[in-house]
Chain A
Amino acid sequence: MTPPVVNNLIAEFRAGRMSRRQFLAMLTTLGATAAAGTVLGYAPALRSTAALSPLKQIDPKVLIYGGGQDVATIDPSDRVDYSISAIMRQLYDRLFRFEGGWPQPIEAGLCQEWSSNEDASVWTFTITDQAKFHDGSPLTAMDVVYSYQRTLRFQRQRSSLLSAYLSVDGVTAPDATTVVMTLTTPYPAFDRLLAFLEQPIVSEAIATANEVDGDEGAAWLVDHEAGSGPFKIANWQVGTVYELEAVPDYWQGWPGAGRLSGVVWQKSEDAGTRKSGLLSGNFDISDTISVTDVEEINSTAGIAAAVNFGLLGGYLKYNTQEGPTADLNFRKFLNYSFNRQAFADSQLGFVNAMTGPIPEGIPGYDPNAEPQYTYDPAAARAALDASPYKDGGFSIDFVYVSGLDFEEAAGLILLDELRAYNITLNLIPKNWPDIVGGCSVPAGGAPIAFIFDQFPPLADTWLIEKYSSKSWDRPTGGSYQACSFYKNDEVDALLDELRVTVDAARSEEIVVMVQSMIAADAPDLPLYVAPNVLGLSNRVKGFTYFGDISVDFWRLWIDDAT
């Protein structure tokens, strides 16, 4: 098996015409040359377009996606993250879809028709009989019931918002194509909530077949799928690449003029590397691009940046219970002294300023909610003078996620401004887990924290999770979304009513009222809606923005001709 060259060498050595040293040296040189030759031999192929592999037939229909986050687990009842959701949407079907555009219209998924009773406490869904799992078995209402019950049983992240309205016994399937959900609390927008919770429907049979120690398939489903979606898993390499391949006869068909034959999600957590990958053709799409890279991407041939605004709202949340920020006038002072224009400049204009507690695009958003805090040094001075801190002379902490330059920019801008008032802002970068841990209870909570919020586009969810005192005023504390520890009894009463009312007009009335009430209390500074920036190669077609960081691969195809 050894090449003739090596045979000759061995013969020479054995005959004593070569010392051991020389022999080893020759072998090493040969080896090095062989390795170099292998590499260089492929170099010309590499220099052609898009770093194509010389190994197999060039397949222009596989899309390589540079993702900023790992896909930690694909258990349908566990975690929710943008990377996990992006993959789940392809592997599994859900009752509804909403990736058709922005603002998100809801389309039928597995559920063809649905209705609720008078008081929105019982919901009936008709399930299609066309859907099949990847092993060929049909998808029935029983699988839908199993999926929802499993999530409710597991009580993990995916069940959080759902648990407020549904219990395990509340989900039943009277027959193979009907699912009935009986809510614990009536909720008129329940269908929209279900759409945005995106519960993947998993095959009961497959999950149970892979059960170990009664875990309902949990250990297996971490990196295997039991779904019916347009893609299935081809290769799952933890921490590196996740390869999906298309199911050509997918029951719902393919919406575009073409389709992908496969998707590879390549984890690339460093923003600079993601950008490099896009620029050099290694990636067809890169997500979470920094705004400072947009110009470079747009001026490079063959790729373009897509900048869109969804519902990712960035807030400076003030601790309304402790410290200087407990004073209303001091909070107003902070809001009026934030130089929004300077911040927009630092983000190269890619900023969608927020005017009130909830972002635009949510039904019920009130553009006229008052007061709206713009940069107004005179009003800032007046507010500070009305507070007990008019002479300044102290320092206050500004907590943000380390490594996020836009959060740091906000901090630096505020720091610069506050110097004029003799107040020192301490910029404290922290890891995300530390921030989460420090946002539970008012005592010791950060005075100012830069937090991003994102919920389904349901106004009540936004308002209740962030501004109801019930979200934090309990023994175990709250989450980072309520870390302004806001407590206003009138607002609480209204939000309680909002939770249970089924009268649409009354709901809208409350939502509008509450926005102004909250704005008047200034528990936070609603700074801006952050852009979702993607970099796409021009060969990728069919992309429409639907409010998410990632893309819906089902709707995409690759066309190298144009």
Chain B
Amino acid sequence: MLRYLGRRLLLIPVVLIGLSILTFTIARIVPGDPVKLAAGPQARPEQVERLRADFGLDRPLIEQYFTYMGGLIQGNWGYSISNRRAVGPDLVRYFMATLELTILSTIIGISIGIPLAIISARWRDRFPDHGARFFSIGAGSIPVFWIAIVLQIVLAQNLRLLPVSGRVDPRADFPEIITGMLLVDTLLRGNLSGFGTALRYIIIPAICQSLLVISVVTRQLRGDLLDMMNKDFVRVARANGIPERLIWMRYLMKNTLIATVSMLGFLIGYQLGGAPLIEYVLDWPGIGQYALKAALLLDFQPIMGATLFVGCVIVVVNLLTDLVYRRIDPRIGFK
């Protein structure tokens, strides 16, 4: 396993460098002048040029790339042209919000998805199966911005059960930041009311995001369970009189979780890339919003920073997922 791990780890920089070149090329090739935009409409030509020089955007492209990568290796993620904020701290800040949302939505997704899949497989082709399948497929068919709007209008605007948008209560004390994830931070300090507030603000975005997880997990797990149920060793176990419940717990669940784990890894990675639509409608300050705005403004260093940061995260998540399922399934091994 260590050799496999070593080989994969060596490849990570390759992937990231490739990603950086690809992103850099696209960001610089796209027409449009972020400097002119940041300098403002009444900017004199000299002012625009000076701003361009300040950010090193008048140097040849190759030099710009190496300057940026050089800075990156030293831990300098650069600055935004449009507001001169350092990219690094902002990336972390926005990312922790996305991480929090991802974790919660995955938990919700699994909590609903796994039972649904079990129900579906257990009573295959009967009513519970149809109901569960319709629900899970339907959940994956709803456009996420649509459900965000609907929940916002029904739960927040009309029923006033939950806040309309945002992440923090403007009328309350802002909770102390330790990890950047409010649910965790409030619990760490024993701040139960703060926890409740943070939960109220995160619940609608989390529900919207979890629909995809429910949909994928249910369908994947159901399919795998059905395959497994027809396997010989299960038939033998049944024939030998082992109670149904035990069969489910010991034989079926353990063996079918592999593909689902792999799917989960993929889903987590996908969610960690941000959910620009949910973040836009519900004002959730996640990395999707950060990257989208940077992309719209052609703000070169935030674009690079966001893409590489998220890329790194996804690569790591993929690696962890791979390790986990190769560990679980001895047949696949560490080739």
Q: Is the CB of B40 within 8 A of A268?
A: no
- Comparing B5-13, B61-69, B151-159, B266-274, the segment that makes contact with chain A is B151-159
Contact A241 B166 (CB under 8 A): yes
Cα separation A239 to B283 with both chains bound (whole Å): 9
Interface centre among B38, B41, B45 (most CB of A within 10 A): B41
Find out whether the CB atom of A436 lies under 8 angstroms from the CB atom of B33. yes
Distance (Å) between the CB of B252 and the closest chain A CB? 14
**Chain B residues numbered 142-181 whose CB sits less than 8 Å from any CB in chain A:** 149, 152-153, 156-157, 160-174
Q: B280: which A residues are within 8 A, CB to CB? A: 269-270
Chain A residues near B46 (CB-CB < 8 A): 155
Given A51-B163, A476-B45: A267 and B156 interface contact (C-beta under 8 Å): no
Q: Pick out which of these stretches binds chain A: B129-137, B212-220, B254-262, B290-298.
A: B290-298
Contacting pair B90 A238 (CB below 8 A): yes
A280 and B164 in contact, given A156-B51, A238-B90 (Cβ under 8 angstroms): yes
Question: Is the beta-carbon distance between A218 and B84 smaller than 8 angstroms?
Answer: yes
A4 at the interface (CB under 8 A from B): no
In-complex Cβ contact of B47 among A80, A156, A437 (8 A)? A156
A38 at interface by CB-CB < 8 Å: yes
B42 interfacial by beta-carbon distance below 8 Å: yes
Interface bits B117-129 vs A (CB < 8 Å: 1, else 0) = 0000000000000
**Beta-carbon contact of A272 and B149 below 8 Å:** yes
Q: Does A2 contact B (CB under 8 A)?
A: no
Complex formed: what's the CA distance from A51 to B162 in Å? 9
Give A480 to B38 CA distance when docked, in angstroms: 13
A17-65 at interface with B (beta carbon < 8 Å)? 21, 35, 38-39, 41-43, 46-47, 51-56, 59, 62, 64
Q: How far, in Å, is A546 (CB) from chain B's closest CB?
A: 22
Residue from A53, A160, A475 in contact with B44 in the complex, judged by beta carbons closer than 8 Å = A160
B200 contacts which of A42, A59, A243, A431 (Cβ < 8 Å)? A42
Return A371 CB to nearest CB of chain B, in Å.
28
Report chain B residues within 8 Å CB of A14. Answer: none
A241 near B168 with CB under 8 A, answer yes
Is B313 an interface position by the 8 A CB rule? no
With an 8 A cutoff between CB atoms, is A78 at the interface?
Answer: yes
Whether B164 pairs with A276 at a CB distance below 8 angstroms is: yes
How many residues on chain A are close to B (CB under 8 Å)?
Answer: 70
A159 vs B47: C-alpha distance when bound (angstroms) = 9
Q: Does B49 contact A (CB under 8 A)?
A: yes
Enumerate chain A residues within 8 angstroms of B241, measured Cβ to Cβ: none
The answer to whether B168 touches A240 (Cβ under 8 A) is yes
A38 and B199: CB pair below 8 A? yes
B281 touches A272 (CB 8 A): yes
Whose C-beta in chain B lies nearest to the C-beta of A275? B157
With the chains together, A431 CA to B281 CA distance in Å?
19
Stretch from B70-78, B188-196, B315-323 at the A interface: B188-196
Q: Is A222 an interface residue (CB 8 A)?
A: yes
Residue of B whose beta carbon sits closest to that of A435: B32
Q: How large is the interface on B (under 10, 10 to 19, 20 to 34, 35 or more residues)?
A: 35 or more
A241-B166, A277-B164 known; A160-B32 Cβ under 8 A? no
Report if B109 contacts A (CB, 8 A).
Answer: no
Indicate whether A465 reaches chain B with its CB closer than 8 angstroms.
yes
Residues facing A in B19-45 (CB within 8 A) are 31-34, 36-45
User: Chain A's nearest CB lies how many Å from the CB of B73?
Assistant: 20
Q: Which chain A residues border B36 with CB–CB below 8 Å?
A: 436-437, 440, 479
Q: Are A273 and B83 within 8 A (Cβ)?
A: no
Interface status of A75 (Cβ within 8 A of chain B): yes
Q: A41-B196, A73-B85 are in contact. Are A239 and B290 (CB under 8 A)?
A: yes
CB pair B281 A239 closer than 8 Å: no
Residues of B within 8 Å of A241, CB to CB, are 166, 168, 170, 174
Compute how far the CA of A243 lies from the CA of B170 in the bound complex, rounded to whole angstroms. 8
Contacts of B164 in A (CB 8 A): 273, 276-277, 280, 282
Interchain CA distance A35-B171 in the complex, whole Å: 22
Asked if residues B167 and A240 are in contact (CB atoms below 8 Å), the reply is: yes
Shortest Cβ gap from A338 to chain B (Å): 25
| Residue A237 lies at the interface, judged by CB distance under 8 Å to chain B | yes
Give complex CA distance A155, B47 in Å: 6
Q: Which residue of B lies closest to A477 (CB)?
A: B45
CA distance A480 to B283 in the complex (A): 30
Say whether A282 contacts B83, CB under 8 Å.
no
* A62, B171: Cβ atoms closer than 8 Å: yes
Q: Any chain A CB within 8 A of the CB of B275?
A: no
The list of the 4 closest CB pairs from A to B, nearest first, reads A157-B40, A72-B83, A160-B42, A38-B196
Interface residues of A (CB under 8 A from B): 21, 35, 38-39, 41-43, 46-47, 51-56, 59, 62, 64, 72-73, 75, 78-80, 155-157, 159-161, 163, 218-219, 222-223, 235, 237-241, 243, 264, 266-270, 272-273, 276-277, 279-282, 431-434, 436-437, 440, 465, 474-476, 479-481
Q: List 27 A-B contacts (CB under 8 A).
A: A35-B199, A39-B203, A46-B160, A53-B171, A53-B197, A55-B169, A55-B194, A64-B171, A79-B83, A155-B47, A155-B51, A160-B40, A243-B170, A243-B174, A264-B170, A266-B283, A268-B166, A268-B283, A273-B164, A277-B165, A282-B164, A433-B33, A436-B32, A476-B45, A476-B48, A479-B41, A481-B41
